[in-house]
Structure 1
Amino acid sequence: MTSDPISIRRPGDLPSGALRPKELPAGTLFWWLHIGGWGGLFLVNYLSALANGKPAEYWTVLLAVSVTGFIGTLGLRYLLRACSDMPPLRVALLMIAPALLVGAATGLTYSAVTALGWCSRCKPFSGWGYYTYVASQMNVVVGWAALYLVITTWRKLRMQTEAALAANAMAHQAQLKMLRYQLNPHFLFNTLNAISTLILDRDNATANRMVQGLSAFLRHSLDADPMQRVTLKQEIDAIWLYLEIEKTRFAERLRVSVDVEPSCWSALMPSLLLQPLVENAIKYAVAKRVEGGTLGLHASREGDRLRLSVIDDGPGWPALENGGVPPDKGPHGNSVGLANARDRLRVLYGEHQSFEVRNRDEGGFMVTLTLPFETGGAPRE
């Protein structure tokens, strides 16, 4: 049996099957940005100096300044990493003085290099030139520190967001598995009692067939992944495993009608979504009546929606005639089946689904589910 994974999509999620871009580790990203940033600043400053009439050997001055800034901001990085657990605003305030000191160091390097005569024609025309250059280098270093804080804070927030999304997805999966594996103990008790009765009546062939059917149904129920989708054809095949057991119990008292539009056989849906609804109908519309009852499974397509209905001709739900009640209780008490199917739809599809219960005008009870119409493979024949 083939199946496709259910995709619980959120805004911003990549489409199913798409590859996420491979990200650089934090350390590698830093060195790429650090080397590229100071190297790019050196190149831009040199080209700008040449355009403003500076001599070609001016690169020696700029190289010394860039190396000083490169080494000094490395020191700032270690200070920032030591303060990584502090709030961003407090870190920014603490880093003002160190950033200004590194900026001043790069400016003093410029003054020292030109004073040593590395480039005698590179000296400013007045003393104010030194002060303005020191101030500009302070701005560069403060900008470096601000950019480092922005990038590291953004990465930290994104990691926290991804961790929260992962935890939320795991919680959804756990909830789905809990709902999916809620087998009605009454079904097991009744089936085992029926098998015991058949053995006492020495109807070994029927008892053996019923044991094999129960084994196949339980194997399918426990092996099927609740996070997987199946086609409607596969879903109805699985329901027939259950119905064969019940037909052995009720014989001609249980009548089944299946009406599925041809285009719906390959529609995808959560596995064993309809089984608890079928079990609920048999419990109230067939088992409690001497004449038994008819169970109907209907499926149709309405635009981009798949409409599924489970119908019976039993006594219906009297409480619905008085204004309706939520589907947490069945016609005669608690109904895990109705609440189970409703909750699975809500968890999987959110607002893109509906779950309705009503009494039929011609008699009986009807549960209708609508969910997005999706296909992804041919039905199993």
Structure 2
Amino acid sequence: MKNMLQPEHKRALISADTKPSFWLLHSLGWLFYVLILTIDNVAFIGSDKLDDRFVIFPLLISGLLAILLTLPLRSLYRRLWCLSPVKLFISVVVSSLLVAAIWTPLKNMVIWNWEDNYSIFLVLNGQFDEEHHPARLFMTISYAFFMVMAWSSLYFGINYHFRLVKEKEQHFNAVMLSHKAQIKMLRYQINPHFLFNTLNAISTLVLQGSKERANTMLIKLSTFFRYSLDNDPEKKITLQEELDALRLYLDIEKTRFDERLTVHFEVSPATEKLLVPSLIIQPLVENSIKYAIAKMKSGGEIRISARCEQDELILQVADNGPFSCFSQLPGMSQGVGLQNIDERLNVIYPHQHQFELSVAQPQGFVVTMTLPVEHSLE
């Protein structure tokens, strides 16, 4: 089994920004419209009927009318959100045109009253003159329609953006929860397998009358499982903690195999504080014991090494079992063995790890894991 995927940069976590207040954006948007019109009137058009300093007042009233008239569109658009794109577009156009048809005459009446001293009450009573014709109340309706359509576009654009971000965040969280569940499932597959082997060995010791050894083995087994259950399988621990757990496991196995098993640790001090998935080495050692040491009558050795090369942590478990080629491999990749570890690494380090099985010299096998370097915060 071999996984030679090239490492990639970690993707940044997706998180939805806080959505701005509708009232804030609604008010600021129309106030900005008033500001732009004021600058246009004062700087470019000018006014010979009114002091330029006061031209902002009718424009402010026009902006307030726009704020009030476009407010109902918010409730309307919420109801229309699930329509098909074509129906939604038609609805928005018709609604914007209706608002523009109401806003334009009201705005023009305010301007007539302010600039021409033509009373709004004269208009309401139907008293028009040549300069102030009823049709002229709807002048600039196309401009008003454009402004309301711009408001509608911004409303949908902003809401679509934050809905999309929220959906991405929900999808990301769902994937993370799925990965966590998968990690737990894969990690917890180890315990029943190891428990069966150990209890079988304890039963044999009891039948042989070795009660003290059986009791010692039970104590070590309970200590190991307490350690295992206290560590969340989705979290990472330091390599030193991982090796401590591994030594608990090996103490149990040495009780089973006695002098048939010798373990050598070659761990660089620089790697001891680096983070690794919990109980990631123990299944590899268990495979070596099951498929190599258990087949030997004496002289069984397992070497566990850890070193750093550039930004990578290299972990190796090697044995001197009786096998010297892959054709002799008795299904080590099945069950809770190498396949389990490979799946866990694929979940925890997607595209950022290597997992390789090779033949040792003169015999045996070497399992190599290459992981990204992660430093403990402690």
TM-score after normalising by structure 2: 0.85
Matched, 1:258 2:265: yes
Mapped partners of 1:46, 1:122: distance in 2: 21
Aligned to 1:12: 12
Mapped partners of 1:186, 1:271: distance in 2: 17
Answer whether contact 1:106 1:137 (CA < 8 A) is retained: yes
Q: Which amino acid aligns with 2:64?
A: V
TM-fit CA distance, 1:335: 4.4
Aligned to 2:351: 351
Answer whether contact 2:260 2:298 (CA < 8 A) is retained: yes
Answer whether contact 2:19 2:162 (CA < 8 A) is retained: no
Q: Which amino acid aligns with 1:83?
A: L
* Residue 84 (structure 1) aligned to one of 75, 81, 86: 81
Structure 1 range deviating more: 340-349 or 196-205: 196-205
* CA shift digits 1:139-198 (9 cap, x unpaired): 111111111111111111111111111111111111111111112645323322322333
Q: Which amino acid aligns with 2:78?
A: R
* Residue 271 (structure 1) aligned to one of 269, 278, 287: 278
* Residue 226 (structure 1) aligned to one of 218, 224, 233: 233
* CA shift digits 1:250-275 (9 cap, x unpaired): 11011101111221122211111011
Task: Name the SS for the 2:352 alignment partner.
Answer: coil
Aligned to 1:53: 46
Answer whether contact 1:320 1:359 (CA < 8 A) is retained: no
TM-fit CA distance, 1:318: 3.9
Mapped partners of 1:81, 1:137: distance in 2: 22
* CA shift digits 1:247-298 (9 cap, x unpaired): 0111101110111122112221111101100000000111122225111101
* Residue 27 (structure 2) aligned to one of 35, 60, 66: 35
CA RMSD of aligned residues (A): 2.8
Mapped partners of 2:255, 2:298: distance in 1: 16
Matched, 1:67 2:64: yes
**Larger RCO (CA within 8 A; separation ≥ 6):** 2
User: Structure 2 vs 1, CA of residues 274 and 371 (structure 1 numbering), >3 Å: closer, same or farther?
Assistant: same
TM-fit CA distance, 1:121: 6.4
Matched, 1:119 2:115: yes
User: Structure 2 vs 1, CA of residues 186 and 317 (structure 1 numbering), >3 Å: closer, same or farther?
Assistant: farther
TM-fit CA distance, 1:299: 1.1
Q: Which amino acid aligns with 1:357?
A: L
Q: Which amino acid aligns with 2:227?
A: H
Task: Name the SS for the 2:190 alignment partner.
Answer: coil
User: Structure 2 vs 1, CA of residues 316 and 121 (structure 1 numbering), >3 Å: closer, same or farther?
Assistant: farther
Q: Which amino acid aligns with 1:363?
A: Q
* CA shift digits 1:282-333 (9 cap, x unpaired): 0011112222511110111111111111000002264358xxxxxxx85467
Task: Name the SS for the 2:171 alignment partner.
Answer: helix
TM-fit CA distance, 1:233: 1.2
Give unpaired runs (5+ residues) of structure 2: 1-7, 120-129
Percentage of pairs with the same residue? 38
TM-fit CA distance, 1:76: 1.4
User: Structure 2 vs 1, CA of residues 146 and 136 (structure 1 numbering), >3 Å: closer, same or farther?
Assistant: same
Structure 1 range deviating more: 141-150 or 311-320: 311-320
Answer whether contact 1:176 1:226 (CA < 8 A) is retained: yes
* CA shift digits 1:55-98 (9 cap, x unpaired): 24434432332222111111211110111222445322211011
User: Structure 2 vs 1, CA of residues 264 and 60 (structure 1 numbering), >3 Å: closer, same or farther?
Assistant: closer
Task: Name the SS for the 1:298 alignment partner.
Answer: strand
Mapped partners of 2:85, 2:189: distance in 1: 48
User: Structure 2 vs 1, CA of residues 12 and 198 (structure 1 numbering), >3 Å: closer, same or farther?
Assistant: closer
Matched, 1:135 2:142: yes
Mapped partners of 1:167, 1:361: distance in 2: 46
Answer whether contact 1:315 1:365 (CA < 8 A) is retained: no
Answer whether contact 2:355 2:367 (CA < 8 A) is retained: yes
Answer whether contact 1:103 1:142 (CA < 8 A) is retained: no
Aligned to 2:94: 97
* CA shift digits 1:122-143 (9 cap, x unpaired): 9998979765532222211111
TM-fit CA distance, 1:346: 1.1
Answer whether contact 1:231 1:266 (CA < 8 A) is retained: yes
* CA shift digits 1:184-228 (9 cap, x unpaired): 645323322322333344433222211110001111222211121
Mapped partners of 2:361, 2:118: distance in 1: 97
TM-fit CA distance, 1:48: 2.5
Q: Which amino acid aligns with 2:283?
A: P
Mapped partners of 1:377, 1:277: distance in 2: 27
Task: Name the SS for the 2:82 alignment partner.
Answer: coil
Q: Which amino acid aligns with 1:367?
A: V
